[in-house]
A = this chain, B = another copy of it.
């Protein structure tokens, strides 16, 4: 969708590109928002400009029988956790985290381990972005 490329495009602009009228476009978008196809709109930020200088993917290994909901709750406490997924394979979950520096990253990982059921973590720190498509 064109709105993924630029979430502030005007209805008129979109309308011209798809050969419709502006109101028609608005109503379609309203519908997409209502039924959840479009979750919302967001500004995409440069993390460095906000002091987040290190980013990492942290694989999390939980104690047997740990509930997903408590995992999620534990992760939600830490604003450094940008995204986290429950995954198949070796690890139980993977968190994408953003910290000010390596020390902060270390502290976060310690926190997560103390927080409860984390047995082990394995981190892969991001050196550079190869691909970044917004809106995901």
Least CB separation from A35: chain B residue: B49
A36-B46, A84-B130, A87-B124 known; 19 new pairs, CB 8 Å cut-off, are A3-B43, A6-B40, A7-B40, A7-B43, A37-B46, A37-B49, A37-B50, A38-B44, A40-B44, A40-B134, A41-B42, A45-B136, A72-B130, A72-B131, A75-B130, A81-B133, A86-B129, A90-B124, A98-B136
Q: Quick check: A86 and B136 within 8 Å, CB to CB?
A: no
- How many copies the complex holds: the figure is 2
Residues of B within 8 A of A95 (CB): 130-131
Least CB separation from A135: chain B residue: B42
Q: Which of A49, A83, A132 counts the most chain B CB atoms within 10 A?
A: A83
Q: Quick check: A39 and B35 within 8 Å, CB to CB?
A: no
Q: Quick check: B43 and A41 within 8 Å, CB to CB?
A: yes
Least CB separation from A91: chain B residue: B124
Q: Quick check: B43 and A126 within 8 Å, CB to CB?
A: no
Q: Does A103 contact B (CB under 8 A)?
A: no
Least CB separation from A89: chain B residue: B124
Q: Quick check: A8 and B41 within 8 Å, CB to CB?
A: yes
